[in-house]
């Protein structure tokens, strides 16, 4: 029979395209048995579980020119499992048409087949999750709407790239373009072109931004122990580990040493040898003598003594590797998590110190605009940019009051990383600070040609740090502010494996709005200073990448605030809070019986439709919906046309508390509780001394704080008891 297939023309490749045998019926007229036996590629038949194409570029990995139909879907099942039989059948038919009878006459290159597999995987995993079997059941709008969340939960990347989103959309246009033959072949498909209004590129660009926005910050319950452990490692433990690395350098080799000869023959001078046994015996002595420090308030060293006689995981070599990794990962997390930089920029930091200022390379000190603070700024170079050109970016590592000698934690981390890698530095083939240490269980003592570490390896190291050193076993099932049910179980059970480095940047942005009081004082101070730097200097304000993270965290926090309000978990206060409660009554009805993740999606939709703007501060949030009633702008007389956001120069808690744009919930309770305490204490002390004439405003502030606290469900009676106790203590006769 004549071959009626459209000829295959593989334009990107110079080689002859694959033309299937001529003695068969058209694909779409084949019986299942015929298709099973049909040579779909020069190397594979229809029934094969892997379709392979001949690779056209030397050195290409096998995977780029094959589709493995036994691919693992996102729920852990295989596409070849019985329950996916129908999905597998039409996916094979679709790919056969795309490669052998494409509607445009141009078949894709063999080297792009791996990408087709990825595209099939994304789409079929999603369809399987929703019980959709055939393309005609596919709700493309729902897929597009869900993609940002879907991708952000599955992709283990710092930022969601355009190509990642394009991959997830890859198959959909074919479901439309190949519709005629698909239908003839018994596959019901899409009824209309999903990309009729906008191109696939338009959707990919929009969804990539949204997907990065969907990556949540670390849940508070995880962030606090992680950050505290990072700060812990940067103290005495890091110093000890740096000292421990001396065994790698083995400085005694080749020097003259004194050894005891026999019992009574005295001491002889010898040259310490370079042989492996000599070195081993020196290392044994070094490990046996090594002592770890004791932390303030503790009675014994923070780490047990190294047992040089052991070779197992308790042995000194394995322990040294573990400790090296811990300090490196803690330092890296401190730099990324406390400056907000991207992992690619972290990996690009160079080793060494500035000969002039003595600071780690790339770091400089700038005076803040007010002249009150010193800012530690590092300039990084991002080699891969959208425009393909290197881009320099400044990141504020920390701030200190002018005249102070303290260095911010990330600066200390840079110093430590330099010292930690010192034994290997001369073997490095890169100027970069973080080196790709040999992959074995031990630290290499003899090595050559160490390249820079990759972002993937760094991310794996950070995950291992959480798994090894941060105890998440006591986590409850759900975080206090959850966007899906049982959100902490995956953290507890995977020991933090769900961590993404971008979460550190999101947590950075979150702590810039309000520092969690359970963080160690050093970290609280770090973020407190950084927040001041943000308003006092242009550095953070001009870093577009950080601003967009702050914006997306603010958007997430707004959505969360509305979610918790409509679910009745967290009441809102403030005049805008009251308006919001009225405006979301219908939404509250709609979502109250839904699982939290679905309720969250509805809330996001509502907030996006209403385009609710929000600006956070420690005392509450501003939603400037009523531009003619913005008190901070009334103060300064700003024109109505220019009132797009709060006026940071005049914005004050007492002004906001009576403003139509103000909303707060329990997240701001700490601020108002301390305002309540401070103002009542001041007023009552004045009352005791018999003169409250100048304290009217103080009393009003205390009363205002009390009202807001009651509205968000805080029991002020407990604060009153605290006030009375403080006053009693102050009046105990000497």
* Contacts with ligand SF4, residue ranges (CB under 6 A): 622, 624, 630-632, 646, 651, 655-656, 659, 661-662
Least gap, CB of 618 to ligand SF4 (angstroms): 12
Q: Give the residue with the Cβ less far from ligand SF4, 161 or 627.
A: 627
Distance between CA atoms of 516 and 523, rounded to whole angstroms? 9
Q: Give the residue with the Cβ less far from ligand SF4, 79 or 614.
A: 614
Token pair, residue 422, equals 């010192």
CB 267 within 8 A of CB 260: yes
SS3 call for 99: helix
Closest CA to 665 of 614, 699, 722, 701: 614
Q: How distant is the alpha carbon of residue 548 from its chain centre?
A: 14
Q: What is the DSSP string of 524-590?
A: HHHHHHHHHHHHH-STGGG-HHHHHHHHHHHHHHHHHHHHHHHTTSS--BSHHHHHHHHHTHHHHHH
Contacts of 523 (CB under 8 A, 6+ apart): 227, 228, 231, 338, 409, 515
CB 619 within 8 A of CB 655: no
Residue with tokens 């932390």: 295
Least gap, CB of 656 to ligand SF4 (angstroms): 3
β-partners of residue 452 are 435
Contacts of 46 (CB under 8 A, 6+ apart): 35, 36, 37, 38, 40, 92, 96
Q: Give the residue with the Cβ less far from ligand SF4, 304 or 636.
A: 636
Least gap, CB of 114 to ligand SF4 (angstroms): 51
Least gap, CB of 577 to ligand SF4 (angstroms): 11
Q: Give the residue with the Cβ less far from ligand SF4, 408 or 620.
A: 620
Closest CA to 509 of 491, 526, 527: 527
Q: What is the CA radius of gyration of the chain?
A: 32
Distance between CA atoms of 156 and 463, rounded to whole angstroms? 11
Q: Give the residue with the Cβ less far from ligand SF4, 431 or 658.
A: 658
Q: Output the furthest CA–CA distance in the chain (Å, rounded).
A: 112
Q: Give the residue with the Cβ less far from ligand SF4, 20 or 624.
A: 624
Least gap, CB of 664 to ligand SF4 (angstroms): 10
Distance between CA atoms of 457 and 353, rounded to whole angstroms? 25
Q: Give the residue with the Cβ less far from ligand SF4, 411 or 656.
A: 656
Least gap, CB of 137 to ligand SF4 (angstroms): 47
Least gap, CB of 704 to ligand SF4 (angstroms): 14
Q: Please give the helix or strand (H or E) that residue 331 lies within, else none.
A: helix 316-339
Q: Say how many Å lie between the first and final Cα of the chain, rounded.
A: 112
Least gap, CB of 574 to ligand SF4 (angstroms): 8
Least gap, CB of 213 to ligand SF4 (angstroms): 23
Least gap, CB of 369 to ligand SF4 (angstroms): 21
Least gap, CB of 624 to ligand SF4 (angstroms): 5
Token pair, residue 428, equals 């490095």
SS3 call for 363: strand
Least gap, CB of 658 to ligand SF4 (angstroms): 8
Least gap, CB of 617 to ligand SF4 (angstroms): 7
Q: Give the residue with the Cβ less far from ligand SF4, 526 or 660.
A: 660
Token pair, residue 652, equals 């004050």
Q: Give the residue with the Cβ less far from ligand SF4, 346 or 712.
A: 712
Residue with tokens 């970069």: 432
Closest CA to 488 of 508, 474, 500: 474
Helix ranges (H only) for 365-500 are 409-420, 422-425, 455-469, 489-494
Q: Give the residue with the Cβ less far from ligand SF4, 213 or 574.
A: 574
Q: Give the residue with the Cβ less far from ligand SF4, 591 or 621.
A: 621
Q: What is the DSSP string of 40-69?
A: EETTEETT-SEEE----STT--GGGGEEET
Entry field: residues in the chain: 734
Q: Give the residue with the Cβ less far from ligand SF4, 160 or 656.
A: 656
Least gap, CB of 716 to ligand SF4 (angstroms): 23
Least gap, CB of 697 to ligand SF4 (angstroms): 17
Closest CA to 38 of 16, 54, 22, 53: 22
β-partners of residue 373 are 401
Q: Give the residue with the Cβ less far from ligand SF4, 375 or 659.
A: 659
Least gap, CB of 193 to ligand SF4 (angstroms): 45
Q: Give the residue with the Cβ less far from ligand SF4, 601 or 675.
A: 675
Eight-class DSSP state of 515: -
According to DSSP, the β-strands at 391-401 and 615-617 are unpaired
Distance between CA atoms of 33 and 45, rounded to whole angstroms? 11
CB 94 within 8 A of CB 183: no
Q: Give the residue with the Cβ less far from ligand SF4, 376 or 662.
A: 662
Q: Give the residue with the Cβ less far from ligand SF4, 64 or 661.
A: 661
């Amino acid at each position: 029979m004549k071959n009626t297939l459209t000829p295959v023309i593989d334009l990107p490749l110079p080689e002859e395209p694959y033309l299937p045998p001529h003695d068969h019926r058209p694909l779409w007229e084949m019986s299942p048995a015929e298709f099973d036996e049909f040579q779909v590629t020069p190397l594979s038949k229809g029934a094969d579980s892997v379709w392979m194409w001949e690779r056209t570029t030397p050195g290409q990995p096998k995977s780029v020119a094959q589709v493995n139909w036994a691919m693992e879907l996102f729920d852990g099942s295989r596409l070849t499992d019985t329950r996916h039989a129908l999905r597998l059948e039409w996916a094979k038919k679709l790919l056969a048409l795309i490669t052998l009878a494409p509607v445009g006459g141009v078949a894709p290159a063999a080297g792009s087949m791996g990408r087709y597999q990825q595209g099939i995987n994304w789409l079929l995993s999603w369809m399987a999750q929703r019980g959709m079997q055939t393309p005609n059941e596919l709700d493309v709008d729902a897929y597009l709407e869900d993609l940002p969340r879907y991708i952000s939960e599955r992709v283990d990347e710092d930022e969601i790239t355009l190509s990642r989103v394009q991959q997830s959309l890859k198959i959909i246009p074919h479901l439309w373009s190949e519709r005629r033959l698909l239908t003839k072949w018994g596959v019901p498909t899409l009824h209309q072109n999903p990309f009729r209004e906008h191109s696939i590129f338009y959707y990919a660009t929009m969804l990539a931004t949204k997907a990065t926005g969907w990556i949540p910050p670390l849940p508070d319950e995880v962030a606090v122990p992680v950050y505290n452990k990072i700060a812990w490692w940067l103290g005495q433990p890091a110093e000890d580990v740096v000292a421990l690395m001396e065994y790698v350098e083995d400085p005694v080799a080749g020097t003259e040493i004194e050894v005891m000869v026999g019992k009574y023959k005295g001491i002889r001078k010898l040259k310490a040898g370079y042989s492996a046994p000599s070195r081993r015996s020196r290392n044994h002595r070094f490990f046996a003598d090594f002592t770890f420090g004791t932390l303030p308030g503790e009675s014994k060293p923070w780490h047990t003594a190294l047992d040089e006689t052991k070779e197992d995981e308790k042995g000194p070599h394995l322990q040294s590797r573990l400790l090296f990794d811990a300090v490196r990962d803690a330092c890296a997390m401190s730099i990324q998590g406390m400056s907000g930089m991207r992992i690619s920029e972290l990996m690009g930091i160079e080793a060494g110190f500035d000969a002039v200022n003595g600071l780690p390379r790339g770091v400089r000190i700038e005076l803040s605009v007010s002249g009150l603070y010193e800012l530690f700024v590092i300039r990084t170079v991002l080699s891969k940019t959208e425009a393909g050109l290197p881009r320099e970016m400044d990141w504020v590592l920390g701030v200190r009051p002018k005249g102070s000698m303290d260095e911010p934690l990330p600066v200390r981390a840079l110093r430590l990383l330099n010292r930690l890698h010192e034994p290997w530095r001369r073997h490095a083939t890169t100027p970069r600070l973080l080196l790709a240490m040999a992959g074995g269980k031990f630290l290499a003592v003899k090595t050559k040609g160490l390249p820079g570490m990759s972002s993937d390896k760094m991310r794996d190291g950070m995950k291992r740090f959480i798994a090894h050193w941060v105890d998440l076993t006591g986590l409850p099932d759900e975080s206090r502010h959850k966007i899906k049910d049982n959100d902490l179980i995956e953290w507890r059970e995977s020991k933090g494996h769900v961590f993404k480095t971008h979460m550190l940047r999101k947590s950075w942005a979150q702590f810039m709005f309000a520092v969690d009081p359970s963080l160690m004082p050093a970290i609280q101070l770090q973020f407190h200073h950084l927040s001041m730097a943000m308003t006092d200097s242009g550095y953070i304000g001009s870093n577009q990448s950080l601003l967009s993270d702050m914006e997306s965290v603010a958007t997430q926090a707004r959505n969360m605030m509305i979610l918790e309000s409509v679910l009745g978990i967290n009441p809102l206060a403030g005049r805008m809070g009251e308006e919001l409660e009225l405006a979301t009554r219908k939404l509250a009805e709609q979502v109250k019986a839904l699982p939290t993740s679905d309720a969250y999606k509805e809330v996001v939709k509502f907030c996006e439709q209403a385009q609710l703007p929000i600006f956070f501060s420690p005392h509450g949030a501003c939603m400037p919906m009523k531009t003619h009633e913005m008190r901070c702008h009334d103060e300064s007389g700003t024109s109505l046309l220019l009132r797009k956001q709060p006026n940071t120069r005049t914005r004050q808690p007492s002004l906001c508390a009576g403003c139509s744009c103000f909303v707060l919930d329990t997240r701001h309770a700490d601020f108002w509780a301390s305002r309540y305490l401070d103002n009542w204490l001041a007023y009552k002390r004045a009352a005791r001394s018999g003169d409250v004439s100048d304290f009217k405003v103080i009393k009003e502030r205390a009363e205002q704080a009390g009202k807001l606290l009651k509205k968000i469900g805080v029991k002020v009676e407990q604060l009153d008891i605290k006030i009375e106790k403080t006053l009693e203590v102050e009046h105990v006769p000497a």
